């Protein structure tokens, strides 16, 4: 009964019901291809030529076969309803570890021509383990995972950063080129267990320009090797699937020659230079936040795990194939327990490092949801659709209360102290505004108008007997008390015209000058004009709403902090809309500042004469006693436009459609404040690619909005790199570290 020729493979004919997807392929009828397959299998055959002839002779009955478990999916082609091996297919998947070949080393420079691998007189001096994979491909290999054999042949110390040598071997059948990383130094013999297996049956080598590390980045090769910490040991060879370490040159070694070939595996995937190797955990401290994470499918993980031989060591390494894979999911982490055919606990592997017995990925997932302003419910739904293992809502809220909220609050306190230090003893002008976007809470924020940074904020929760006015005055008072407690010299406060805040400033903080925000004044004026324009015979006022708004803005901007001049300029609008541009009865403002109006412009403009009902309605608004009194507190042209930008930032972290608890409201508002403070003063973006813009290269970009085509500047993208610092603080809190 034919069975798979690969040793330790259990598949044979008559198992169709047990293994319905396994196919036993007969060997091809070509002697050279048969030899190629046998070499690829890597088993220890006494005479490979004789075995190949024997297989060819038994081709009539297909006595010798190899099962489909040793062929990758891309080795097949679909013909109608049958799936067959493509021409030139080669087996590459083997659960069994290959036989080990020890090559004696050369004491001189690396050879410049091919050498025979079985020649005892030529080869590396130190014991080097090489895996024979393919005699027809150029391959790049790392030192054999599983263990390092340390020889006592030399008195020098062995270190992990090994010197690369480029050797070539010539087997009896076909030519083969190999790159071998080998170390010439050694220490007393002992076994060093390596958990990661990075030797694969077929590796393609892409030539790359010769490049070596600078000596300043390399430590002496005479240092004694040290055991690796559990975290780094799991991650030690993680990136070597993609890159081969460049040669570490020793200028004192007279036998050293720069290898002619330095390989880069999977170069089509790697998008970084050789210098990126310095970010490898071997060279730098582990950074779980900046470290890349990948999504891996379970089937792909299983196929990788089955390549690992049993790591059980009872005096001798078991190395039996894996027969059972047991997985335990802890949030986003999977713990794999491998069992070999000899029923040993072959390996226990975790997909993530842990901090104080908590998976790092679970903490990073919670922090990413909160720090990005996302909703756990939506992210959980996305993970569910994608099929990604994720944390539960219980874990997320536990992380929020115990780790995330303290980290955010601690970062804001340090940031606030920096702002107070920057202000120093200088007098500041503060702009304040309250928000009632979220039900049940009032958020009041104070901004330094000069630096445009939020210096303080307060979240107040609604309760029985509280009104919106009382909440706003309470939050404002708490903010002011905090600023004064930190010795901030508040000279002027610009707010809206809410009576509660006005009352607090006039009674409690009488030494602080109170100015009204011109933005709120213009908005209030616009609402009144729109309401009047809807009245009978007042529709002609509609076309004048925006010009009147702009006129109020211009009056406050050009009044030179003179209240009488501001009021006269403001009242002049009643004459201007009636096509009267001189006003002798005014003391400080006698005529309009615009140029001469042509007769054509005069005819096209819809003037509102004094006898028109709309003019009477406008006169009531312009001469309103309350408005005129408030204009006397708008002479310093205090505007809070940046506060509106901050409010839009708040909507990212604190959606109006969700109701949050008090601690969550405070944390999410803090994130909005930190993002605003980090991105103030951004420079305006300039045109880089003229094909995507009508502007020339180097010109500042603008975007047009609304129907009246108002040009607004385009700024560079926001940078929220402080979020990575907060995430690192979360890990420190989990470790129990305190600053």
pLDDT tens digit sequence for 527-543 = 999 999 998 888 888 99
pLDDT at residue 93, as a whole number? 84
pLDDT at residue 705, as a whole number? 46
Whether the model pTM is above 0.85: no
Same domain, 162 and 82: no
> Coil, helix or strand for 480?
helix
In this predicted model, what pLDDT tens digit does every residue of 690-731 receive, in sequence order? Answer: 455 555 555 555 554 444 555 556 655 677 788 999 999 999
Q: Is it the case that residue 436 has pLDDT exceeding 60?
A: yes
Contacts by 719-722 with C-beta closer than 8 Å and gap 24+?
719/678, 719/679, 720/675, 720/678, 720/679, 721/678, 722/411, 722/674, 722/678
Confirm if 420 and 488 have CB atoms less than 8 A apart: yes
Mean pLDDT value across residues 124-129: 37
Same domain, 84 and 132: no
Per the model's pLDDT, the better-predicted residue between 627 and 204 turns out to be 627
pLDDT at residue 475, as a whole number? 93
Whole-number percent of the chain with pLDDT over 70: 68
Same domain, 75 and 107: no
For 164, residues 6+ apart whose C-beta sits below 8 A from its C-beta are 179, 180, 181, 182, 244, 245, 246, 247, 248, 259, 262
Backbone phi and psi for residue 567, each to the nearest 5 degrees, phi listed first: -70, -40
pLDDT at residue 176, as a whole number? 39
Confirm if 440 and 464 have CB atoms less than 8 A apart: no
DSSP structure class, residue 254: T
pLDDT at residue 681, as a whole number? 73
- The pair of three-digit structure tokens given for residue 709, joined into one six-digit string: 């085509």
What radius of gyration, in Å, describes the C-alpha atoms of the chain? 38
How far from 332 is each of 324, 376, 547, CA to CA, in Å?
Answer: 22, 14, 58
Residue found by looking up tokens 């779980």 in the block: 288
Q: pLDDT-based confidence at 80, cuts 50/70/90?
A: low
Same domain, 123 and 91: no
Q: Is it the case that residue 48 has pLDDT exceeding 50?
A: yes
306 belongs to a structural domain: no
pLDDT at residue 694, as a whole number? 54
Mean pLDDT value across residues 243-267: 36
Q: Is it the case that residue 254 has pLDDT exceeding 60?
A: no
| Torsion angle in degrees (nearest 10) through CA of 679, 683, 689, 694 | 120
In this predicted model, what pLDDT tens digit does every residue of 557-588 receive, in sequence order? Answer: 999 999 999 999 999 999 999 988 988 889 99
How far from 699 is each of 23, 429, 433, 529, 711, CA to CA, in Å?
Answer: 66, 33, 35, 38, 14
Confirm if 386 and 415 have CB atoms less than 8 A apart: no
246 belongs to a structural domain: yes
Same domain, 215 and 277: yes
206 belongs to a structural domain: yes
Question: Considering 272, 292, 312, which residue would you say is the last residue of a domain?
Answer: 292
pLDDT at residue 739, as a whole number? 59
Same domain, 585 and 627: yes
Report the alpha-carbon distance of residue 236 to residue 228 in Å, rounded: 9
Mean pLDDT value across residues 127-138: 36
pLDDT at residue 13, as a whole number? 84
Structural domain harbouring 553: 519-631
Cβ burial 539-574 (10 Å sphere, 16+ → b, else e) = ebbeebbeebbebbbebbeebeeeeebbbbbbbbbb
In this predicted model, what pLDDT tens digit does every residue of 201-251 receive, in sequence order? Answer: 333 333 333 333 344 443 433 333 333 333 343 333 333 333 333 333 444
652 belongs to a structural domain: no
Same domain, 617 and 720: no
Report the chain's mean pLDDT, rounded to a whole number. 74
Residue 607 burial by Cβ neighbours in a 10 Å radius (0-12, 13-18, 19+): middle
Q: How many domains does the chain have?
A: 4
- The pair of three-digit structure tokens given for residue 621, joined into one six-digit string: 């608004």
Same domain, 12 and 107: no
pLDDT at residue 700, as a whole number? 58
Q: What is the 3-state secondary structure (H, E, C) of 201-220?
A: CCCCEEEECCCCCCHHHCCC
How far from 223 is each of 158, 219, 482, 562, 642, CA to CA, in Å?
Answer: 8, 8, 56, 78, 58
Instruction: Say how many CA atoms lie within 13 Å of 488 toward its Cβ.
Output: 28
Per the model's pLDDT, the better-predicted residue between 10 and 236 turns out to be 10
407 belongs to a structural domain: no
Same domain, 56 and 126: no
Q: Is it the case that residue 77 has pLDDT exceeding 80?
A: yes
Same domain, 32 and 161: no
209 belongs to a structural domain: yes
pLDDT at residue 576, as a whole number? 92
Report the alpha-carbon distance of residue 363 to residue 733 in Å, rounded: 11
How far from 533 is each of 530, 541, 624, 715, CA to CA, in Å?
Answer: 5, 5, 17, 37
577 belongs to a structural domain: yes
Same domain, 103 and 4: no
pLDDT at residue 716, as a whole number? 59
Report the alpha-carbon distance of residue 171 to residue 531 in Å, rounded: 94
Report the alpha-carbon distance of residue 405 to residue 666 in Å, rounded: 9
Mean pLDDT value across residues 473-501: 92
Instruction: Report angle CA 304, 234, 279 to the nearest 5 degrees.
Output: 105
Helices 662-679 and 405-423, packing angle to 10 deg = 40
Question: Considering 96, 128, 144, which residue would you say is the last residue of a domain?
Answer: 96
Which residue in 219, 184, 50, 198 sits closest to 133, CA to CA? Answer: 198
Confirm if 120 and 103 have CB atoms less than 8 A apart: no
Question: Considering 34, 61, 96, which residue would you say is the last residue of a domain?
Answer: 96
640 belongs to a structural domain: no
Q: Is it the case that residue 122 has pLDDT exceeding 60?
A: no
Per the model's pLDDT, the better-predicted residue between 29 and 294 turns out to be 294
Same domain, 82 and 195: no
In this predicted model, what pLDDT tens digit does every residue of 441-468 receive, in sequence order? Answer: 899 999 999 899 999 999 998 888 888 8
In this predicted model, what pLDDT tens digit does every residue of 385-409 receive, in sequence order? Answer: 999 999 999 999 999 999 999 999 9
pLDDT at residue 255, as a whole number? 32
């Amino acid at each position: 009964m034919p069975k798979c020729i690969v040793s330790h493979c259990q598949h044979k004919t008559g198992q169709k019901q047990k293994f319905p997807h396994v196919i036993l392929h007969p060997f091809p009828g070509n002697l050279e291809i048969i030899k190629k397959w046998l070499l690829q299998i890597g088993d220890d055959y006494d005479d490979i030529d004789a075995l190949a002839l024997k297989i060819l002779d038994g081709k009539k009955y297909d006595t010798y076969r190899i099962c489909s478990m040793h062929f990758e999916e891309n080795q097949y082609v679909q013909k109608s309803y049958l799936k067959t091996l493509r021409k030139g297919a080669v087996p590459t998947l083997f659960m069994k570890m290959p036989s080990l070949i020890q090559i004696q080393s050369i004491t001189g420079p690396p050879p410049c021509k091919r050498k025979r691998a079985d020649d005892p007189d030529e080869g590396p001096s130190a014991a080097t383990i090489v895996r024979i994979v393919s005699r027809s491909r150029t391959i790049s290999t790392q030192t054999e995972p599983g263990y390092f054999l340390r020889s006592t042949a030399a008195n020098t110390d062995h270190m992990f950063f090994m010197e690369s040598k480029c050797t070539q071997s010539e087997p009896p059948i076909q030519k083969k080129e190999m790159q071998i990383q080998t170390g010439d130094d050694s220490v007393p013999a002992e076994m060093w267990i390596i958990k990661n297996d990075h030797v694969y049956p077929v590796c393609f080598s892409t030539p790359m320009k010769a490049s070596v590390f600078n000596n300043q980045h390399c430590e002496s090769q005479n240092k004694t090797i040290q055991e690796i910490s559990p975290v780094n040991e799991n991650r030690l060879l993680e990136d070597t699937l993609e890159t081969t370490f460049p040669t570490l040159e020793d200028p004192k070694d007279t036998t050293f020659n720069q290898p002619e070939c330095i390989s880069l595996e999977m170069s089509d995937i790697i998008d970084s230079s050789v210098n990126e190797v310095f970010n490898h955990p071997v060279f730098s401290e582990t950074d779980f936040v900046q470290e890349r994470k990948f999504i891996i499918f379970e089937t792909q993980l299983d196929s990788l795990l089955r390549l690992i031989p049993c790591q059980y060591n009872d005096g001798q390494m078991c190395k039996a194939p894996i027969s059972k894979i047991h997985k335990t999911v802890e949030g986003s982490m999977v713990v794999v327990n491998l069992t070999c055919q000899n029923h040993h606990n072959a390996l226990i592997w975790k997909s993530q490092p842990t901090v104080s017995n908590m998976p790092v990925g679970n903490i990073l997932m919670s922090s990413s949801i909160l720090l990005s302003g996302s909703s756990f419910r939506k992210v959980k739904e996305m993970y569910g659709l994608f099929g990604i293992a994720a944390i539960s809502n219980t874990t997320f809220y536990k992380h929020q209360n115990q780790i995330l909220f303290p980290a955010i609050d601690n970062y804001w306190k340090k940031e606030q102290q920096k702002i107070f230090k920057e202000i120093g003893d200088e007098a500041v002008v503060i702009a304040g505004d309250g928000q009632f976007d979220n039900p049940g809470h009032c958020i009041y924020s104070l901004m330094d108008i000069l630096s445009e940074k939020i210096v303080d904020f307060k979240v107040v929760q609604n309760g029985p007997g509280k009104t919106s006015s009382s909440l706003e005055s309470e939050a404002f008072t708490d903010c002011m008390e905090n600023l004064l407690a930190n010795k901030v010299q508040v000279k002027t406060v610009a707010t809206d015209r809410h009576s509660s805040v006005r009352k607090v400033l006039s009674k409690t903080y009488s030494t602080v000058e109170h100015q009204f925000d011109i933005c709120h004044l213009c908005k209030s004026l616009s609402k009144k004009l729109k309401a009047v324009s809807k009245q009978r015979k007042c529709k002609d006022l509609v076309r004048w709403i925006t010009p009147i708004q702009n006129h109020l803005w211009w009056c406050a901007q050009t009044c030179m902090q003179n209240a009488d001049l501001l009021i006269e300029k403001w009242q002049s609008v009643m004459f201007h809309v009636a096509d009267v541009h001189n006003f002798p009865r005014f003391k400080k403002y006698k005529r309009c500042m615009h140029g001469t109006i042509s007769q054509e412009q005069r005819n096209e403009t819809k003037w509102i004469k004094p006898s028109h009902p709309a003019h009477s309605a406008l006169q009531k608004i312009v001469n309103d006693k309350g408005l005129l009194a408030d204009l006397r507190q708008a002479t310093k042209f205090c505007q809070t436009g940046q506060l509106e930008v901050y409010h839009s930032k708040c909507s990212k972290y604190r959606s109006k459609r969700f109701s949050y608890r008090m601690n969550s409201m405070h944390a999410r508002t803090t994130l909005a404040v930190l993002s605003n403070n980090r991105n103030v003063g951004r420079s305006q973006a300039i045109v880089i690619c003229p094909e995507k813009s009508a502007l020339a290269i180097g010109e500042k970009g603008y975007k047009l909005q609304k129907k009246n085509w108002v040009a607004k500047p385009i700024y560079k993208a926001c940078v929220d790199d402080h979020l990575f610092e907060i995430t690192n603080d979360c890990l420190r809190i989990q470790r129990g570290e305190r600053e």
